[in-house]
């Protein structure tokens, strides 16, 4: 663990520890009340989910076409984080929707796209885990295709759904709630950075050990 | 450029010749497609009439399922005899080999669809002749998108462990836009008051998907197939 990672983790930990008080102090949303507070965790998780997906896809492209082996570690780390933050997003979303819309799940463009993107990265991890030798390249292809697919999923689900009446519209967030929200986003982002670089480092070292084993066998 | 099409054509011809002699993939895939449609019929037909506008969905699900089966079988055959390695060793452009494989796959799936479409029309009272060109365009563009991604993934997975289960796991999430566009586009021309303009929108989306993913696949095939 590098010094930077330690600082990031310490800061994120401290910020997340005081986050409940800050969220508690934020103004009450008039129509939704208490349930709105879930947004302070839902939104950062959703943003980082998308960021992780973009990093995984880009790193995979660089690994495939640029022949940069280290990039595979970054792609794997980002894909794992995409699944983690994706599950946070997909769990907190319906919890809010149950109270606000009265139903757990709506086949809304954003919800459906998130679910499919999450499934793409779960499939990626399954491939990495059970695909056997050579699955790093296959995974890179999958991540690249997954990322390229995002606009198509969004457009298709959007058109498919807007043919039907919308059940509800997400209200826009009042400005005075911005402070606590940005606080949480920063905390989550620091945690994300620390986890990403630590996991990528772990993967690089695993590859190095594997190379050493192979060299040993050949010698 | 001439070399590219020649290699692609040779790969198609080889695949068709092997298939014509054994009929393995065509016959099994066709029968499987028939089974899928029947399973849906038993699940969705109530008192002689199908519930809702399910015919478009059944057509596309049957196409996707049998396409997955065909993709798996085609590349399994290449693996067993280790002929894919020979193909890769040939002094030919890798993208041209991919293009040939894709064309062969499209021919195969087109054959299956030629049987599937009348079957769905017959069993689910779908108006398949109302807008024949729209339907043909939807099927062609949709199948191209599905097969473009499928051929690449099936080829990549030849060397992987647990490839049989991996192919659908990887392929279905990626081809969600194809399924949505195909089903909604087909439903638009199958419904009571057909909406050909909506179908045209979905055809355009599918064509766009095809262009992006065929390009990406041609581009990715070389690095992923290099050992």
Taking contacts as CB-CB distances below 8 angstroms, the residues of chain B near A142 are 153, 170, 174
CB-based contact, B211 to chain A, within 8 Å? no
Higher pLDDT, B66 or A180: B66
CB-based contact, B155 to chain A, within 8 Å? no
Tell which of A60, A141, A160 to mutate to test the B interface (max B CBs under 10 Å).
Answer: A141
Q: For chain A, what is the HEC assignment?
A: CCHHHHHHHHHHHHHHHHHHHHHHHCCCECCCEHHHHHHHHHHHHHHHHHHHHHHHHHHHHHHHHHCCCHHHHHHHHHHHHHHHHHHHHHHHHHHHHHHHCCCCCCCCHHHHHHHHHHHHHHHHHHHHHHCCCCHHHHHHHHHHHHHHHHHHHHHHHHHHHHCCCCCCCCCCCCHHHHHHHHHHHHHHHHHHHHHHHHHHHHHHHHHHHHHHHHHHHHC
Whether the CB-CB separation of A69 and A29 falls below 8 Å is answered with: no
Nearest to A138 among B149, B160, B219 (CB): B160
DSSP single-letter state for residue B191: S
H or E element: which one contains B64? helix B55-80
pLDDT of residue A165: 42
- According to the per-residue pLDDT averaged within each range, which of A43-47, A183-187, B74-78, B211-215 is highest? B211-215
Determine the average pLDDT of the residues in B88-111: 90
Taking contacts as CB-CB distances below 8 angstroms, the residues of chain A near B149 are 145
CA–CA dist A187, A43 (Å, integer): 12
> In chain A, what are the domain boundaries?
3-14+37-162+175-214
pLDDT of residue A13: 85
- Inspect the interface and report whether the beta carbons of B181 and A156 lie closer than 8 Å: yes
DSSP single-letter state for residue B45: E
CA–CA dist B104, B12 (Å, integer): 5
- Inspect the interface and report whether the beta carbons of B166 and A116 lie closer than 8 Å: no
CB-based contact, B181 to chain A, within 8 Å? yes
pLDDT of residue B110: 94
Taking contacts as CB-CB distances below 8 angstroms, the residues of chain A near B220 are 64, 141, 144-145
Tell which of B52, B162, B170, B206 to mutate to test the A interface (max A CBs under 10 Å).
Answer: B170
Whether the CB-CB separation of B100 and B15 falls below 8 Å is answered with: yes
pLDDT of residue A175: 54
Which residues 88-127 of chain B have a CB within 8 Å of chain A? none
Instruction: Give B134-173 pLDDT, tens digit per residue.
Output: 999 999 999 999 999 999 999 988 888 888 888 999 999 9
The residue in chain A having the minimum alpha-carbon distance to the alpha carbon of residue B157 is A138
Whether the CB-CB separation of B71 and B167 falls below 8 Å is answered with: yes
Higher pLDDT, B65 or A93: B65
- Please give, rounded to a whole number of angstroms, the shortest distance from the CA of A122 to a CA of chain B: 9
Taking contacts as CB-CB distances below 8 angstroms, the residues of chain B near A160 are 180, 184
Contacts of A153 (CB under 8 A, 6+ apart): A112, A113, A116, A117, B176, B177
Question: Residue A102, Cβ neighbours under 10 Å: how many?
Answer: 9
- Inspect the interface and report whether the beta carbons of B180 and A119 lie closer than 8 Å: no
- Inspect the interface and report whether the beta carbons of B205 and A135 lie closer than 8 Å: no
Q: Is the pLDDT of residue B99 over 90?
A: yes
Pairing between β-strand B49-50 and β-strand B45-46 as defined by DSSP bridges: antiparallel
Question: Residue A219, Cβ neighbours under 10 Å: how many?
Answer: 5
Whole-number average pLDDT of chain B: 89
pLDDT of residue A69: 81
Confidence of residue B193 (pLDDT cuts 50, 70, 90): confident
**Domain carrying residue B167:** 2-225
CA–CA dist A74, A55 (Å, integer): 8
- Inspect the interface and report whether the beta carbons of B160 and A131 lie closer than 8 Å: yes
Q: Is the pLDDT of residue B174 over 80?
A: yes
| Residue recorded with tokens 């990528």 | A200
Whether the CB-CB separation of B10 and B102 falls below 8 Å is answered with: no
- Inspect the interface and report whether the beta carbons of B220 and A141 lie closer than 8 Å: yes
Contacts of A139 (CB under 8 A, 6+ apart): A60, A75, A76, A79, A124, A127, A128, A131
- Inspect the interface and report whether the beta carbons of B224 and A140 lie closer than 8 Å: yes
Determine the average pLDDT of the residues in B63-81: 89
Positions of chain A with pLDDT lower than 70, given as ranges? 29-33, 161-177
Whether the CB-CB separation of B183 and B56 falls below 8 Å is answered with: yes
Tell which of A107, A142, A160, A162 to mutate to test the B interface (max B CBs under 10 Å).
Answer: A142
When computed from its CA atoms, the radius of gyration of chain B, rounded to whole angstroms, is 18
Whole-number average pLDDT of chain A: 82
Instruction: Give B176-185 pLDDT, tens digit per residue.
Output: 999 999 999 9
Nearest Cα to Cα of residue A51 among A121, A109, A4, A111: A121
Instruction: Give B42-64 pLDDT, tens digit per residue.
Output: 888 777 777 777 889 999 999 99
Domain count, chain B: 1
When computed from its CA atoms, the radius of gyration of chain A, rounded to whole angstroms, is 20
Determine the average pLDDT of the residues in B61-73: 93
CA pseudo-torsion sign B198, B209, B30, B65: negative
């Amino acid at each position: 663990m590098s010094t930077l990672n330690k600082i990031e983790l310490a800061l994120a930990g401290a910020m997340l520890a005081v986050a409940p008080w800050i969220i508690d102090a934020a103004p009450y949303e008039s129509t939704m009340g208490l349930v709105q507070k879930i947004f302070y965790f839902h939104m950062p998780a959703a943003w980082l989910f998308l960021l992780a997906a973009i990093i995984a896809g880009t790193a995979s492209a660089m690994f495939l076409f640029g022949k940069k082996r280290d990039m595979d570690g970054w792609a794997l780390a980002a894909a794992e984080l995409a699944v983690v933050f994706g599950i946070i997003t997909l769990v907190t979303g319906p919890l809010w929707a149950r109270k606000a819309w009265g139903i757990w799940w709506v086949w809304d463009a954003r919800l459906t796209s998130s679910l499919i993107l999450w499934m793409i990265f779960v499939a990626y991890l399954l491939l990495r885990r059970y695909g056997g030798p050579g699955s790093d390249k296959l995974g890179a292809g999958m991540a690249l295709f997954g990322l390229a697919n995002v606009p198509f999923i969004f457009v298709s689900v959007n058109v498919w759904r807007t043919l039907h009446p919308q059940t509800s519209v997400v209200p826009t967030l009042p400005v005075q709630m911005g402070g606590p929200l940005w606080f949480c986003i920063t905390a989550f982002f620091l945690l994300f950075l620390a986890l990403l670089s630590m996991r990528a480092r772990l993967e690089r070292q695993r590859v190095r050990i594997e190379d050493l084993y192979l060299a040993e066998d050949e010698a | 450029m001439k070399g590219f099409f020649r290699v692609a054509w040779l790969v198609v011809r080889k695949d068709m010749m092997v298939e014509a002699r054994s009929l393995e993939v065509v016959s099994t895939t066709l029968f499987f497609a028939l089974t899928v449609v029947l399973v849906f019929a038993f699940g969705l037909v109530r008192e002689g009439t199908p519930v809702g506008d399910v015919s478009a969905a059944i057509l596309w699900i049957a196409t996707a399922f049998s396409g997955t089966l065909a993709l798996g079988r085609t590349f399994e055959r290449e693996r067993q005899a280790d002929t894919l390695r020979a193909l890769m060793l040939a002094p030919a452009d890798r993208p041209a080999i991919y293009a040939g494989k894709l064309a062969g796959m499209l021919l195969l799936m087109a054959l299956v669809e030629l049987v599937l479409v009348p079957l769905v029309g017959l069993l689910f009272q779908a108006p398949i002749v109302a807008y024949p060109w729209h339907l043909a365009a939807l099927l062609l563009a949709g199948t191209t998108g599905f097969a473009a991604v499928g051929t690449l993934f099936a080829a990549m997975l030849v060397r992987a462990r647990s490839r049989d289960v991996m192919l659908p796991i990887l392929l279905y999430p990626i081809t969600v836009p194809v399924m949505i566009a195909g089903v909604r586009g087909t439903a638009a021309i199958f419904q009571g008051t057909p909406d050909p303009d909506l179908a045209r929108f979905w055809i355009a989306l599918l064509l766009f998907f095809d262009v992006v993913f065929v390009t990406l696949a041609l581009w990715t095939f070389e690095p992923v197939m290099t050992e």
